[in-house]
């Protein structure tokens, strides 16, 4: 299982939200590059970079942070938050991201997203599915739809999506443990998917459980920043 540390960006700084609430914000570092270099120094190869300003504004904002980290580390970066137009996708790739992370657009404008998959290649996208009670949530988690997570995955598998991460919004940033039953169910239904668990990871035990149920990756954020998980402990997952 690949460990994918997360850096969430607001105003160019490394922060974490609780349950996606912008009023529940903690600033961990003024310089995200320093954080990325620590991750790389520990042997981690991937990075999940989230532009929270972009997610709120509906347009990519913190591409300079992406550009800096991409040019000064060798990490494989997925970048999301505010990717709403083809121009945003181009900015993300031109700034050094290996994958563009999308969520809301895949829910709200399927036609546009499918066009991107054909234009840039489905393998260039990491699809994010935020859920509340197995239903898809969008708009920075502010809005819950009636779309069932399994239908959502099935649809985009047919369009060539091979990597997907799922965040249970009720767990995110709370360090209460991930949604093991939900993720187990997804992995069992879609064994060929590069499935990445996200949200709620609080300990090495959580990571061991995610690994045991067959997750291909796990996004870890707050647990690292709050020293619940030490970077050196993650070496057991680095081959």
The domain limits of the chain are 2-237
What pLDDT does 10 receive? 96
pLDDT tens digits, one per residue of 6-50: 999 999 999 988 777 888 889 999 999 999 999 999 999 999 999
Give first-to-last CA distance, the chain, whole Å.
Answer: 10
Q: Which of 212, 123, 214, 105 is nearest to 162 (CA)?
A: 123
What pLDDT does 61 receive? 97
pLDDT tens digits, one per residue of 41-95: 999 999 999 999 998 899 999 999 999 999 999 999 999 999 999 999 999 999 9
Among 130, 168, 172, 206, the active-site one is: 130
pLDDT band at 140 (very low <50, low <70, confident <90, very high): low
Is residue 21 flagged as an active site residue?
no
pLDDT reading at 173 higher than 70: no
pLDDT tens digits, one per residue of 99-112: 999 998 999 999 99
Distance CA 46, CA 81 (A): 17
Give the 3-state secondary structure of 158-173: CCCCCEEEEEECCCCC
Nearby residues of 36 by Cβ (< 8 Å), 6 or more positions away? 7, 47, 69, 72, 73, 75
- Whether pTM > 0.85 for this model: the answer is yes
What is the fold of 2-237?
A: TIM Barrel (3.20.20)
What pLDDT does 22 receive? 84
Is residue 53 flagged as an active site residue?
no
Distance CA 82, CA 126 (A): 14
């Amino acid at each position: 299982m690949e460990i994918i540390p997360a850096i969430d960006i607001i105003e160019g700084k490394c922060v974490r939200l609780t349950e996606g609430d912008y009023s529940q914000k903690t600033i961990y570092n003024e310089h995200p590059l320093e954080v990325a270099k620590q991750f790389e120094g520990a042997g981690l190869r991937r990075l999940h970079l989230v532009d929270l300003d972009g997610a709120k504004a509906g347009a990519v904002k913190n591409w300079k942070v992406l550009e800096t980290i991409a040019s000064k580390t060798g990490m494989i970066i997925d970048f999301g938050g505010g990717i709403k137009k083809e121009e945003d996708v181009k900015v993300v790739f031109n700034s050094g991201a290996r994958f563009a992370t999308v969520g809301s657009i895949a829910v709200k404008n399927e036609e546009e997203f499918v066009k991107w998959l054909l234009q840039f290649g489905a393998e260039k996208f990491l699809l994010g599915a935020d859920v509340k009670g197995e239903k898809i949530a969008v708009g920075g988690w502010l809005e819950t739809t009636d779309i069932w997570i399994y239908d959502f995955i099935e649809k985009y598998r047919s369009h060539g999506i091979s990597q997907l991460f799922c965040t249970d919004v009720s767990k995110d940033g709370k360090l209460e443990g991930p949604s093991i039953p939900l993720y187990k169910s997804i992995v069992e239904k879609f064994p060929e998917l590069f499935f990445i668990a996200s949200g709620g990871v609080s300990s090495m035990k959580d990571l061991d459980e995610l690994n045991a149920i067959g997750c291909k990756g796990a996004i870890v954020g707050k647990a690292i920043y709050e020293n619940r998980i030490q970077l050196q402990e993650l070496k057991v997952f680095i081959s």
